[in-house]
């Protein structure tokens, strides 16, 4: 596959909401969606940075149809608030993109370990609260695209210590949260299928893209050496953020993209290149783990989905 941003189909008449739209992959995804006519709801933790990003997009796409909404995934009250504001607005695609990576241990406003809380639980809650706006009875299916990472292959869901309170390793916590993303995407697809809903769920990963995400961990820990190492890797190894956004754009817009799939770059070590369908890690297909994580996530967030539990041989 040699799919590029130039292959994004006409998005006029479609409304797409994306978290973390103010920088990196989210900003580049927003730019291309707007370029192709979509109405883009930019859900960002800081409305000030969101508006700055919107101005950046409009420099390239003067007629971009953008709206900035405050959404702090580290605060479930904020997540509920944005969902309430969007309750009467049909959304064709939700892109769960925002995230934090390999940061020193901290907790969200609700007491969750930050990487698990933001990367997984915040998006789990947001998707559930927007469910009625996402599903349609006819026409093209609504889509939920959840951005994971190749690091999910190192992940393990530790149900005895989901919040990494007993022992914390920043990379292990990140890998757990990214595995949770894939498990969630597949379980959501299974529940859509069981319910017979006109909606699809899929997971993507960007490969190694040059964004600010890699610098947040070193900056929070005050490590100048790690910050320099990340700068070298981003300069020498990484592909651009625009290239890293392609799997997300493909999953969100390509007519041939399929629910229950996992898309990522098909080039060197799956770190760069055009998007293709790939296999995620073996643990990501464990349906028992996915259902248990779903149940725990509903309990932790207080958000329950009006979807049946998968039965029989339904699979993603």
**DSSP classification of residue 104:** P
- Give the residue among 100, 103, 97 at the shortest CA–CA distance from 185: 97
The whole-angstrom separation of Cα 161 and Cα 213 is 25
Count helices and strands in the chain by DSSP H and E runs: 12, 8
* 262 flagged as catalytic: no
The whole-angstrom separation of Cα 56 and Cα 40 is 14
C-beta neighbour count of 9 within 10 angstroms: 11
Q: What are phi and psi of 170, to 5 degrees?
A: -60, -35
Which entry of 174, 208, 262, 263 is annotated as an active-site residue?
174
- Give the residue among 52, 82, 45 at the shortest CA–CA distance from 66: 52
* 143 close to 201: Cβ distance less than 8 angstroms: yes
The whole-angstrom separation of Cα 304 and Cα 315 is 21
The whole-angstrom separation of Cα 186 and Cα 165 is 27
Please identify every residue annotated as catalytic: 174
């Amino acid at each position: 596959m040699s799919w590029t941003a130039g292959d994004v189909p006409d998005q006029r008449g479609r409304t797409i909401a994306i978290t973390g739209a103010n920088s990196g992959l989210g900003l580049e995804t927003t730019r291309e969606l707007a370029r192709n006519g979509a109405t883009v709801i930019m859900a960002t933790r800081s409305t000030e940075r969101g508006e700055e990003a919107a101005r950046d997009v409009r420099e390239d796409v003067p007629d971009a149809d953008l709206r900035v909404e405050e959404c702090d995934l580290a605060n479930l009250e904020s997540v509920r608030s944005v969902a309430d504001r969007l309750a009467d607005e049909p959304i064709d695609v939700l892109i769960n993109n925002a995230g934090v990576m390999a940061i020193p241990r901290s907790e969200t406003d609700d007491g969750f370990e930050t990487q698990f809380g933001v990367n997984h639980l915040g998006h789990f809650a947001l998707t559930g609260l927007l469910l009625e706006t996402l599903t349609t009875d006819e026409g093209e299916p609504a889509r939920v695209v959840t951005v994971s990472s190749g690091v999910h292959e190192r992940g393990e869901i530790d149900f005895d210590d989901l919040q990494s309170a007993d022992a914390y390793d920043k990379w292990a916590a990140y890998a757990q949260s990214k595995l949770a993303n894939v498990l969630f995407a597949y379980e959501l697809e299974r529940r859509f299928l069981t319910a017979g809903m006109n909606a699809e769920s899929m997971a993507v990963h960007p490969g190694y893209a040059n964004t600010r995400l890699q610098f947040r961990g070193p900056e929070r820990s005050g490590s100048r050496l790690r910050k320099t190492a990340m700068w070298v890797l981003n300069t020498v190894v990484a592909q651009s953020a625009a290239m890293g956004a392609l799997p997300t754009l493909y999953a969100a817009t390509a007519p041939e993209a399929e629910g229950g799939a996992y898309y990522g770059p098909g080039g060197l070590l799956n770190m760069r290149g055009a998007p293709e369908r790939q296999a995620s890690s073996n643990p990501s297909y464990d349906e028992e783990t996915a259902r248990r994580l779903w149940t725990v996530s509903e309990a932790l967030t207080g958000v329950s989905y009006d979807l049946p539990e998968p039965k029989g041989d339904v699979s993603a």
